[in-house]
Amino acid sequence: MREDMSPAPKGPFPFKSLWVFSTIALCAIFILASVPPAGAQTREQDTRRYTSIIQNVFDFIQKHYVEEVEPQALFEGAMKGMFDALEDPYSSFLSESDMSDLNETTQGSFGGVGLYISKPVGEGTGGNPPYVEVASPIEDTPGWRAGISPGDLIIEINGESTDKLTMDEVLARLRGEPGVDVKLIIRRGEKLEFPVTLTRAIIEVPTIKYDMIGDVGYLKIITFTPMTVDRAKDAIEFFKTKNYKSLIIDLRNNYGGLLQSAIGICDLFLEGGVVVSTKSRIASENMVFTARRSTAVPTAMPIVVLINRGSASASEIVAGALKDRGRALLVGEKSFGKGSVQQVFPIDQVGFKLTTARYYTPSDVNIDKIGIPPDREVKFPEINEEQAEALGQLIISNKIPDFVKERPEATQTQIDGFVRDLNREYGIDASLLRRLVRNEQNRTTIAPVYDLEYDVQLQEAVNIIGNSSYNQLLRDAKTLKTLQDEAAREEEAIVS
């Protein structure tokens, strides 16, 4: 997954060379590796011992392998192995191209299909092979326009199974020259599989979209980059010109970004106090981040935050802070659950990304692998196994794209008739079919800022924020600490 939920890099790595080697015989290596020194071993002694082994093996391979080996190849292989041993999907060695990709993703643009992805180390979720999982599509990109959703598995790229590919190899196949087709097989749920052909495009890293819904300001934060806070301020100034009375902040499918950007967004809504704290293994490196005393949005203004399982990392910091501080109600689905902080350390042209801390919300809880539950859960209609198979057949038939292509200006009456025909043929819920038609229509244009007709989560947010009982709902909302404590007590009761 390409994202950096971290402070700015701390400068060059504090050493110029990672190895100093001496020549030894093969038997000496084996003796050193297999016979531990007598007596109790401290961690520092173990560190020196294994470092020495690595140095000697590196030198031995250089001198005795049947073919000449480039030192860089051994170095990069050793680095990748060390980070794989951590079994942390967010810590990794970064090759020169990875470093370039990281900078492009957080600050610029790149040629690709517009998907934030992750790949498990070892077995995949639900006992599946370690296929690539879509964390979130980037709006107005080929992946988004194709209807790829958070949680979808990419099981093949151009006919090649992704379970055997490394993350670098996956990215090399998805990214590249714009205008080139990339053929995927997508698995959704247990049974639904369908092909998707994406044409690479220049992916501009987006930040903010905004508009008015009546007298409600709608602010969609797509990702957290150095420009996000300034763009959010522009949106708020726009809302002021429209005399907005309340605000909806949409963090759905926002997979994170920069920590400082998330804190800056919270500054706009919170009047002082804790936004987030980070705790590492080294106590002196623990940090507490607080909001400024002044806000850009009146502290009494009603706010609803939309989240789903594609909301992660920096977006969870914002959602957690506004919830724990009693500043907003959360609507939607439980968030992803990424409560760790990574920092990027460059080494010449390469580098590495390392999890250095976990973050804690204002009520002092960490949501890593847990997620943030909404105050009001609203899910899109789910389909059963039979409907999933029917949906797969419909997607393969290409009937919806053909209809939209033949009738780009279709009237609502024509769409309703087409949906009725599909409903009779495939038995798929009519509301889902209408949403699929609308998504197909949106693929050939710039995506609308919002779609109130089909977005049931946004509908609920509008209803809540216009409800006279909003303030009571906000007072009744529980902090994440309270929710986690209640869950722990319930678990204890079940066990006992």
The strand pair at 201-204 and 192-199 is best described as unpaired
Establish whether 118 is a catalytic residue.
no
Residue 221: which of 104, 234, 467, 360 has the closest Cα? 234
- Catalytic one of 152, 267, 324, 455: 324
Sign of the four-CA dihedral 110, 442, 454, 249 = positive
The DSSP 8-state label assigned to residue 393 in this structure reads: H
| Bridge partner list, 188 | 192
| Bridge partner list, 111 | 202
Phi, psi (degrees; rounded to nearest 5) at 477: -65, 140
Compute the distance between CA of residue 157 and CA of residue 170 in angstroms, rounded to an integer. 8
Residue bearing tokens 């909003």: 470
- Catalytic one of 209, 220, 338, 353: 338
C-alpha pair distances (Å), 307 with each of 192, 259, 329, 471, 488: 25, 18, 10, 20, 23
Compute the distance between CA of residue 489 and CA of residue 356 in angstroms, rounded to an integer. 30
- Catalytic one of 92, 246, 311, 313: 313
Establish whether 338 is a catalytic residue.
yes
Establish whether 98 is a catalytic residue.
no
Torsion, Cα 253 255 258 264, to 10 degrees, reads 30
The strand pair at 246-250 and 216-221 is best described as parallel
Residue 221: which of 264, 182, 180, 185 has the closest Cα? 264
Alpha helices in 381-496 (DSSP H): 385-397, 399-406, 412-426, 430-443, 456-465, 470-476, 480-495
Q: 117 with 169: CB under 8 angstroms?
A: no
Residue 192: which of 164, 158, 153, 157 has the closest Cα? 153
Angle at 133 between CA 132 and CA 139, to 5 degrees: 120
Residue 290: which of 316, 266, 319 has the closest Cα? 266
The pair of structure tokens assigned to 166 is 């490394």
User: Which amino acid belongs to residue 123?
Assistant: E
Q: 151 with 190: CB under 8 angstroms?
A: no
Active site residues: 313, 324, 338
